């Protein structure tokens, strides 16, 4: 199935989209990668969804990526005697280690790490910032606060701490069990929630041991401050604008989004823009103009993928949401201003042979107006290097490793095909040209550029490029 756009679409599965028929419809409408949210899926449902996605993949004949998104540490207040209490701006309110039901002056906070870490002046945001408090004092067992904004608090509402560096790892006990379960099913990407520090990624990587790629979700101020270090240890980043917009000023989020996208593009690592992209389509068949502009901005910036959350997981119009996102992306990439904006953000290549080959292949393809760049990639690195250049011609990534092709399905501009390794150089050229012809990216008389590593089957050794003509049989010639 050939897509007519370069940005990828990541669709979350949920109650509205878990059936085999609906997954197939979402893929046909434009979903390239599917997300399983482990906050809502138990292990049985997760395995069922993976099996259904793999069935759709087999029927479609195209690699489909799967992202398993771990819940991460969820911080919540305790319960109230009256379920909910009314507060006033300026009044004092205390969070403590007393498990008794709360009242209008205090509530239990079942997280000793928060009680020990919050300092005077730190903010506590309850229920996605609807209630805001400022810490006045803390003795390790109770935090005395002043209500700054909002007027009510109720049972089990979430707590955000934008000013506090908590001594929490990225994995809770639930996450560790979920991680073992999803790795056993062979998912392609692991989403890590509430990352604060590089060590969080190092801890997960020890468990994953290369069985899945790691995507760090940037949703806390602490992660933004340490973005270069986190990016270095990640395989991809997600701009998780929901919690990021709670813990940081809303007006700062668009700039942070651009910073993260550009940092990932410089590093040659995938970046996903997520949260509320087509939020109104949860209940409406068409998006708002502002939402269309939001998706278009991410596409213009050169993000690798844009994500649908509740729109596809629990909305009334999941297929329409995917189709709408696909339509927006296609139109943006046809806009005459699109190439210039993408080119303006290109970074200088790193001083490696693979980067030099990728740069040269893009320049040659554009100068000679070639029809496609075809790259052989075993580990996926060559495919990532080719996508980093953001060429305007299609990138056809050929890999003998199905796991590599599935991971690359998230990457900008890559059309992934699982193909056995070539036996020699002539077979490599013929195989590349034939696949490009069969996948309808080229026709007889077109020219393509092929990159690979010599000797063949040597991962990370991309050192060759070759221009080939497509003959009348769809094979390559000089």
Rg of the chain, C-alpha, whole Å: 24
DSSP label at residue 158 = B
Quote the CA–CA distance of 179 and 158 in Å, as a whole number.
23
pLDDT digits (tens, 9 = 90+) for 186-202: 999 999 999 999 999 99
Reported as a pLDDT band with limits 50, 70 and 90, residue 239 is very high
Q: Per-residue pLDDT averaged across 203-222, rounded?
A: 95
SS3 (DSSP) at 417: strand
Q: Pick the range with the lowest mean pLDDT from 44-53, 162-171, 227-236, 255-264.
A: 162-171
Fold of 84-160: M1 Pyruvate Kinase; Domain 3 (2.40.33)
Instruction: Render 338-392 in DSSP notation, one character per residue.
Output: HHHHHHHT--PPPSSHHHHHHHHHHHHHHHTT-SEEEEE-SSSHHHHHHHHT--S
Q: Which residues are catalytic?
A: 35, 76, 217, 275
Q: Is 264 left (phi over 0), alpha (psi -120 to 50) or beta?
A: alpha
Q: Which helix (H) or strand (E) holds 138?
A: strand 131-138
Query: Which segments of 72-186 does DSSP mark as H helices, in order?
Result: 112-117, 173-185
Query: Measured between alpha carbons, how far is residue 386 from residues 355, 392, 415 in Å?
Result: 8, 11, 12
Q: Which residues of 26-56 are buried (b: 16+ CB within 10 A; e: fewer)?
A: bbebbbbbbbbbbebbeeeebbebbebbeeb
Q: Which residue has the tokens 């040597």?
A: 458
Q: Per-residue pLDDT averaged across 430-440, rounded?
A: 93
Beta strands in 3-64 (DSSP E): 8-13, 33-37
pTM over 0.75: yes
Displacement of CA 66 from its chain's centroid (Å) = 11
Reported as a pLDDT band with limits 50, 70 and 90, residue 463 is confident
pLDDT digits (tens, 9 = 90+) for 74-98: 899 999 999 999 999 999 999 999 9
Fold of 353-477: Pyruvate Kinase; Chain: A, domain 1 (3.40.1380)
Would you kindly state where each structural domain of the chain is located, as residue ranges? 8-72+169-336, 84-160, 353-477
Q: What is the mean pLDDT of the chain?
A: 94
What pLDDT score was predicted for residue 477?
57
Cβ atoms within 10 A of the Cβ of 253, count?
Answer: 16
Just give the CATH number of 8-72+169-336.
3.20.20.60
Same CATH fold assignment for domains 84-160 and 353-477: no
Query: Which segments of 131-240 does DSSP mark as H helices, in order?
Result: 173-185, 198-208, 221-225, 227-233
Angle value at C-alpha 122, between 118 and 126, nearest 5 degrees: 90
């Amino acid at each position: 199935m050939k897509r007519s756009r370069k940005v990828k679409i990541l669709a979350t599965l949920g109650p509205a989209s878990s059936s085999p028929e609906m997954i197939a419809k979402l893929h046909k409408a434009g979903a390239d990668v599917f997300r399983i949210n482990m906050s809502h899926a138990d292990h049985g449902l997760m395995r069922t969804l993976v099996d259904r996605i793999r069935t759709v993949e087999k029927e479609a004949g195209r690699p489909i990526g799967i992202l398993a998104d771990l819940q991460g540490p969820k911080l919540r207040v305790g319960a109230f005697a009256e379920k909910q209490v009314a507060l006033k701006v300026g009044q004092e309110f205390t969070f403590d280690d007393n498990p008794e039901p709360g009242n209008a002056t205090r509530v239990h906070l079942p997280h000793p790490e928060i009680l020990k870490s919050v300092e005077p002046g730190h903010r506590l945001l309850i229920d996605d910032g609807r209630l805001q408090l400022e810490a006045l004092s803390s003795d390790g067992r109770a935090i005395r606060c002043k209500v700054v904004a909002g007027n009510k608090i109720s049972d089990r509402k979430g707590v955000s701490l934008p000013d506090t560096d908590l001594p929490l790892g990225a994995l809770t006990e639930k996450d560790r069990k979920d991680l073992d379960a999803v790795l056993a099913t062979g998912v392609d990407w692991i989403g890590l929630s509430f990352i604060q520090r590089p060590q969080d990624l190092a801890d997960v990587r020890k468990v994953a041991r290369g069985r899945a790629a790691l995507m760090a979700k940037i949703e806390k101020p602490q992660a933004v401050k340490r973005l270069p270090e986190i990016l270095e240890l990640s395989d991809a980043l997600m701009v998780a604008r929901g919690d990021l917009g709670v813990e940081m000023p809303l007006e700062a989020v668009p700039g942070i989004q651009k910073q993260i996208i550009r940092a990932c593009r410089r590093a040659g690592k995938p970046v996903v823009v997520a949260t509320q992209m087509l939020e109104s389509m949860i209940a409406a068949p068409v998006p708002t103009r502002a939402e269309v502009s939001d998706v278009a901005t991410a596409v213009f910036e050169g993000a690798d993928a844009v994500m649908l959350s509740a729109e596809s997981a629990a909305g009334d119009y999941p297929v329409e949401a995917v189709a709408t996102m696909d339509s927006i992306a296609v139109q943006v990439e046809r806009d005459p201003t699109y190439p210039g904006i993408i080119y303006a953000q290109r970074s200088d290549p790193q001083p490696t042979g693979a980067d030099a080959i990728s740069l040269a292949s893009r320049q040659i393809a554009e100068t000679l107006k070639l029809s496609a760049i075809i790259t052989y990639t075993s580990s996926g690195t060559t495919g990532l290097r080719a996508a980093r250049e953001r060429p305007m011609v299609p990138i056809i990534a050929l890999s003998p490793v199905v796991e590599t092709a599935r991971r690359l399905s998230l990457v900008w501009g890559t059309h992934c095909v699982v193909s056995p390794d070539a036996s020699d150089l002539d077979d490599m050229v013929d195989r590349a040209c034939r696949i490009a012809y069969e996948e309808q990216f080229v026709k007889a008389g077109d020219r393509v550029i092929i990159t690979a590593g010599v000797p063949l089957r040597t991962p990370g050794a991309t050192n060759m490029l070759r221009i080939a003509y497509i003959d009348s049989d769809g094979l390559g010639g000089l």
